C-alpha cells in the first residue's frame, strides 16, 4: 500500500509539472459498459463513451466557455481468459467525431492481474489501428498500470466503496509522425448489491509532447458498469 501511495504521488507531481503547458481543455465524460459471459471462456463487452467540452483555457489568455461535442465512441470486445490472471481481448470501435472526421479502429490487448491483500494491480498492453477518410492509418502502442483498492475491508464486497487509480502511456505513429500521450485516472467506485459498478472521478490527459503547444485535457468522468 505504501508503494502505491508513492507511485500516486509521483504521478500527481509529474502531471502538475506538465500543467505548466500551453492549453487546457475541460469537460465531462460519461461512460456505459455492459459485459455478458457468453460461455465458460468467452466474455462479450459493449461500451459507449462520450466526451463533451465545456471550456478552453489557453495559457496567458482568458478562458473560453462554450459547449461542444468532442466525440462519441461505440466499442465492442470479445475476450477470453488463459488463466485466472491473464486474458486476451480483441475489439472494434466506431467513433462519431465532433469535427465530422468519423473513424474505425481495431483493437488487440493482453491483460495481467495481480491480487494483493487489499488491492488488485492490473497491467494492460494494447495495440490499435485507426482508419479515417483521407488520412493515413494511425498505429498506437499502449501500456496501462491500474489499481483497485478496497476501502472497507480486505476485498471489495457488494455495497462497499473502492478507489481506482490508473496511468496509461500511449505511443502513436501516423504518416512518419510520432506522438506521445499520458492518461491518469483517479475515481471513487461503488459496487452495488446486484453487482453493478458506479464510478466518479477525474480523467487527466496530456499530449502533444513533441509540439510547442503542449495540451492537457481534464475530464469529469462518471461511469456505469453492468455485468449480466
pLDDT digits (tens, 9 = 90+) for 142-199: 999 999 999 998 899 999 999 999 999 999 999 999 999 999 999 999 999 888 999 9
Closest CA to 184 of 164, 198, 199: 164
Buried/exposed 90-119: b ≥16 CB within 10 Å, e otherwise: ebebebeeeeeeebebebebebebeeeeeb
Q: What is the pLDDT of residue 60?
A: 77
Given a cut of 60, whether residue 208 has pLDDT beyond it is: yes
Give the Cα separation of 227 and 199 in Å (integer).
15
Tally of structural domains, the chain: 1
pTM of the model: 0.87
- Mean pLDDT score of the chain, rounded to an integer? 90
Q: What is the pLDDT of residue 14?
A: 47
Does pLDDT of 61 surpass 90?
no
**Region 53-74: what's the mean pLDDT?**
92
Beta partners for residue 185, in sequence order:
166, 203
pLDDT band, residue 16 (cuts 50/70/90): very low
Q: According to the model, what pLDDT value does residue 15 have?
A: 47
> According to the model, what pLDDT value does residue 129 have?
99
- For residues 186-210, one letter each, b for 16 or more C-beta atoms within 10 angstroms of the residue's C-beta and e for the rest, the string is bbebbbeeeeebebebebbbbbbee
At which residue does the C-alpha cell 485516472 appear? Answer: 185
The CATH number that applies at residue 104 is 2.40.160.40
How many other C-beta atoms lie within 10 A of the C-beta of residue 137?
11
Return the pLDDT at 193.
86
Cβ neighbour number for residue 16 with a 10 Å cutoff: 9
Q: Which domain holds residue 48?
A: 2-227
Poorest-pLDDT segment among 23-27, 139-143, 181-185, 207-211: 207-211
What are φ and ψ of residue 23, in 5° steps?
A: -140, 135
Residues 69 and 117: their CA atoms lie apart, in Å, by: 42
Which of 215, 189, 219 minimizes the C-alpha distance to 204? 219
- Cα of 149 vs its chain's centroid, Å: 17
- How far is it, in rounded angstroms, from Cα 17 to Cα 36? 41
Strand 103-115 with 197-207, pairing: unpaired
State residue 117's pLDDT score: 85
Amino acid at each position: 500500500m505504501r508503494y502505491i501511495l508513492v507511485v500516486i504521488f509521483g504521478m500527481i507531481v509529474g502531471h502538475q509539472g506538465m500543467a505548466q503547458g500551453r492549453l487546457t481543455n475541460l469537460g465531462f465524460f460519461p461512460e456505459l459498459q455492459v459485459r455478458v459471459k457468453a460461455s465458460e471462456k468467452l466474455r462479450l463487452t459493449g461500451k459507449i463513451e462520450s466526451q463533451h467540452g465545456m471550456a478552453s483555457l489557453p495559457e496567458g489568455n482568458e478562458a473560453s466557455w462554450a459547449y461542444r461535442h468532442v466525440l462519441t465512441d461505440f466499442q465492442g470486445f470479445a475476450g477470453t481468459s488463459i488463466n485466472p490472471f491473464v486474458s486476451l481481448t480483441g475489439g472494434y470501435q466506431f467513433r462519431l467525431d465532433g469535427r465530422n472526421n468519423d473513424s474505425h479502429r481495431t483493437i488487440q490487448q493482453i491483460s495481467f492481474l495481480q491480487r494483493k491483500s487489499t488491492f488488485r494491480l492490473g497491467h494492460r498492453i494494447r495495440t490499435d489501428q485507426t482508419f479515417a477518410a483521407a488520412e493515413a492509418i494511425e498505429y498506437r502502442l499502449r501500456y496501462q498500470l491500474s489499481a483497485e483498492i478496497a476501502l472497507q475491508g480486505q476485498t471489495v464486497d457488494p455495497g462497499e466503496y473502492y478507489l481506482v487509480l490508473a496511468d496509461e502511456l500511449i505511443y502513436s505513429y501516423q504518416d512518419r509522425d510520432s506522438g506521445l500521450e499520458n492518461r491518469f485516472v483517479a475515481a471513487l467506485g461503488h459496487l452495488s448489491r446486484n453487482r453493478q459498478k458506479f464510478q466518479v472521478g477525474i480523467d487527466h490527459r496530456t499530449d502533444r509532447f513533441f509540439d510547442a503547444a503542449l495540451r492537457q485535457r481534464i475530464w469529469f468522468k462518471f461511469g456505469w458498469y453492468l455485468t449480466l
